[in-house]
């Protein structure tokens, strides 16, 4: 499959999954949460892909970095406390990481 299409598809799927998880936790401001999810993942997904493929090929370290970065972004954008932001980020990134493992296999 075309790699351009795969990259775009990965972003769309990640945004949708993480949006659903954020929505389950927050349950208000539907469009705002979607916009925030889109912004966060438009930063973390290409950055993570670039680091993994060209700089540092360690899936777990990159996932931890993404989890931490998204925790901070979620905390700032949704104006919630860091522990809750971390929990949301952990659930969201675990879900997308597991999905990526399933799809790769």
* Interacting residues with other proteins (CB under 8 A): 3-4, 7, 36, 39-43, 46-47, 49-50, 52-54, 56-61, 64, 73, 76-77
Question: Is the alpha carbon torsion for 61, 56, 58, 23 positive or negative?
Answer: positive
7 versus 94: smaller Cβ distance to other proteins:
7
13 versus 77: smaller Cβ distance to other proteins:
77
CB of 87 to other proteins, least distance (A): 18
19 versus 36: smaller Cβ distance to other proteins:
36
CB of 45 to other proteins, least distance (A): 8
Q: Buried (b) or exposed (e) across 12-33, using 16+ Cβ within 10 A?
A: eebbebbbebbeebbeeeeeeb
Measure Cα distances from 29 to 10, 36, 39, 83, 102 in Å: 25, 10, 15, 21, 31
């Amino acid at each position: 499959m075309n790699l351009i299409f795969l990259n775009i598809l990965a972003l769309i799927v990640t945004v949708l999954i993480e949006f659903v998880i954020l929505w389950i936790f927050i349950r208000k401001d539907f469009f705002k949460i979607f916009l925030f999810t889109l912004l966060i993942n438009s930063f973390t997904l290409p950055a993570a892909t670039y680091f993994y493929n060209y700089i540092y090929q360690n899936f777990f370290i990159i996932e931890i970095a993404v989890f931490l970065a998204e925790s901070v972004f979620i905390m700032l954008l949704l104006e919630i406390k860091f522990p809750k932001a971390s929990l949301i980020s952990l659930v969201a990134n675990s879900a997308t990481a597991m999905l990526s493992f399933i799809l790769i296999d």
